[in-house]
Amino acid sequence: MTKKIIDTGSSLGPYSSAVVAGNHLYVAGHCGFLPGTPDIAEGGLEAEFRQTLKNLEATILQAGFRLEDVVSTTCYLRDMDHWPLLNEIYSGYFAQDVPARAAVAVVGLPLGANLEITCVAWRDDTGTN
């Protein structure tokens, strides 16, 4: 099995942004930080949540996968009252063949973020995806 590290230049610690292992992609938690910075996107929760999903998508694409390849996501929210907003924005990215998902409330996230999303993707390298 081959293993490839994906470095987006946006890690806030000693971890890889994502790892491709064979036909699988394991994506580290992504928040609404502006790429390459520790700054959360300005414009409130909606802007932060949209930036989170943009960052997630950019990492998936950089790894050579597509959003359609995502099979599972885990969403960490600082406040479950933000779940409806998450659903609204999330559905714009995952409209068909929606991946399995868990959403959990947490006490805190890096640098005051309100949302962190991680995912696993899989692709059929035989071309029959």
Single-letter code of the amino acid located at 15? Y
Q: Which pLDDT does position 7 carry in this prediction?
A: 87
- Do residues 11 and 18 touch, judged by C-beta distance below 8 A? no
pLDDT digit of tens for each residue in the chain (129 aa)? 689 999 887 777 778 999 999 999 999 999 999 998 889 999 999 999 999 999 999 999 999 999 999 999 999 999 999 999 999 999 999 988 899 999 999 999 999 999 999 999 999 875 544
Would the pTM of this model clear 0.85, i.e. be above it?
A: yes
- Do residues 75 and 82 touch, judged by C-beta distance below 8 A? no
Q: Considering only CA atoms, give the Rg of the chain.
A: 14
Q: Which pLDDT does position 39 carry in this prediction?
A: 93
